[in-house]
Amino acid sequence: MSFNYHRIIIKIGSNVLTQPNGLPDLKRITHLVEQIAAIKKQGIEVVLVSSGAVASGRSLITVSEKFDAVAARQLLASIGQVKLINTYANLFEKHEMLCSQVLVTKEDFRDRLHYLNIKNCLDLLLQHQVLPVVNENDVVSVTELMFTDNDELAGLIASMLNAQALIILTNVDGIYDGDPKLDTSKVIAEINNKGVDFSSFVSSDRSQFGRGGMITKTHMAQKVAQLGIAVHIGNGTKENILTDILEGKAPHTRFIPHKTASGKKKWIAHSETSATGIVEINAGAKAALNSSKATSLLPVGISKIKTDFKKGDIIKLVDEHNALVGLGIAEYGAEKAKERLGQKNQKALVHYDYLYLQ
Ligand SMILES: Nc1ncnc2c1ncn2[C@@H]1O[C@H](COP(=O)(O)OP(=O)(O)O)[C@@H](O)[C@H]1O
Ligand SMILES: N[C@@H](CCC(=O)OP(=O)(O)O)C(=O)O
């Protein structure tokens, strides 16, 4: 089955771009650029989220063991990003294409204003037929402010730009139903329903240079597919993988997209770290919100206002075990919410249109 997209996000992991010795694999990067150029020539808009700065840095400098991991990553990424982006610029120039560098940190998405600032810039680049090459800026983003990895960043970009698909290239054929190293394990071709428990067959093992692992990939892929964006996970080391995935020829894992969510819901879905308030909802409200009927969060379903928040803030909805149920925009502040706690016939605290369910 081939796919007819007009805007896609392509994420390439470190292990696809590097040889086993950690040096950049120029032959493979060249082949991937050829494929991306061919896709762009079909009129498909592409944003590339590329790891590999740290890996490129390793090919240029040796870091003494005495430096901690954060400092080493900053040093390697600062040096390596120059080499990485220059490699892309020179290779795309051969196809008469212009690429650009977009380095971001999680902080750049902290509120709607900053989020829209990045969105506007990426939209402008695409309008000018430029290929944005996005990467997390490891030089300035420190541990607590970092994305888990570029999979998370790629999922955010796909949602922000209302892409039809996110293609994630890693060093295995897709998500296996067991340990990928075992012959008995098979690639799962399609994943449809949210809430699949991947922990029974996705291990926390990461590839040699990967940062997030398959667990972060699957969680991000489920969230993005739930927002209405198809997610394809395939093997970036295979010949013609990108064009073959689009033509439905390559074995890989596809997360089937659900109903397309609004732009606002997509933003809310990626705003957990900027949430200020936390409200605990009761079992009845949890069941109602997760039913097929569009339901707002009413005060009658709230059991506790756990933290302060203002009207318009992003708030977390948690259950009695403090597990995240969803995120939403508060229609009024915590004080008013406390006054209305448990009451019937009161205005919704979170309207359905501004509610994202995990
Ligand atoms: N069930 C699974 N299916 C596929 N890969 C898995 C699974 N469980 C763990 N993995 C590991 O996840 C790795 C890919 O994730 P990661 O290291 O983050 O790569 P990348 O650099 O592409 O982001 C694979 O190399 C594999 O070792
Ligand atoms: N900004 C980092 C990204 C690291 C990362 O997410 O790696 P991976 O898990 O291989 O996609 C770099 O360029 O090395």
Tens digits of residue pLDDT in 74-123: 999 999 999 999 999 999 999 999 999 999 998 888 888 999 999 999 99
What CATH fold (topology level) applies to the domain 275-357?
Answer: 2.30.130
Q: Please state the atom number of ligand 1 nearest to the C-alpha of residue 216.
A: 18
Q: Give residue 335's pLDDT.
A: 97
Residue numbers belonging to the annotated binding site for substrate: 51, 138, 150
Contacts of residue 60, Cβ cutoff 8 Å, sequence gap at least 6: 79, 80, 83
Q: Give residue 207's pLDDT.
A: 67
Q: Which tokens go with 52? A: 């590999």
What are the tens digits of pLDDT across the range 237-248? 999 999 999 999
**For residue 216, how far is its CA from the centre of ligand 1 (angstroms)?**
9
List the chain pLDDT tens, one digit each, 358 residues: 788 899 999 999 999 999 988 888 999 999 999 999 999 999 999 999 999 999 999 999 999 999 998 899 999 999 999 999 999 999 999 999 999 999 999 888 888 899 999 999 999 999 999 999 999 999 987 765 677 789 999 999 999 999 999 999 999 999 999 888 999 999 999 998 766 777 777 877 666 666 667 888 998 999 999 999 999 999 999 999 999 999 999 999 999 999 888 999 999 999 998 899 999 999 999 999 998 888 899 999 999 999 999 999 999 999 999 999 999 999 999 999 999 998 999 999 999 999 999 8
Query: DSSP class of residue 23?
Result: S
24 lines ligand 2 (CB under 6 A): no
Q: Give residue 110's pLDDT.
A: 85
- Contact at 8 Å (CB) between 312 and 336? no
358 lines ligand 2 (CB under 6 A): no
Domain regions of the chain by residue span:
7-265, 275-357
171 lines ligand 1 (CB under 6 A): yes
148 lines ligand 1 (CB under 6 A): no
Q: Which CATH class is domain 7-265?
A: alpha beta
- Contact at 8 Å (CB) between 302 and 279? yes
- Contact at 8 Å (CB) between 12 and 91? no
Using alpha carbons only, give the angle 213, 219, 223 rounded to the nearest 5 degrees. Answer: 145
Q: Name the H helices within 283-341.
A: 283-289, 334-339
Q: Please state the atom number of ligand 2 nearest to the C-alpha of residue 84.
A: 13
Q: Give residue 199's pLDDT.
A: 78
Q: Give residue 18's pLDDT.
A: 92
**For residue 210, how far is its CA from the centre of ligand 1 (angstroms)?**
8
Q: Give residue 156's pLDDT.
A: 96
164 lines ligand 2 (CB under 6 A): no
205 lines ligand 1 (CB under 6 A): yes
What's the CA gap between 133 and 32, in Å, rounded? Answer: 13
Residue numbers belonging to the annotated binding site for ATP: 11
* DSSP output for 163-181: -SEEEEEESSSS-BSS-TT
Which residue's CA is the nearest one to ligand 2's atom 2? 51
Query: DSSP class of residue 261?
Result: P
Q: Which tokens go with 356? A: 């994202």
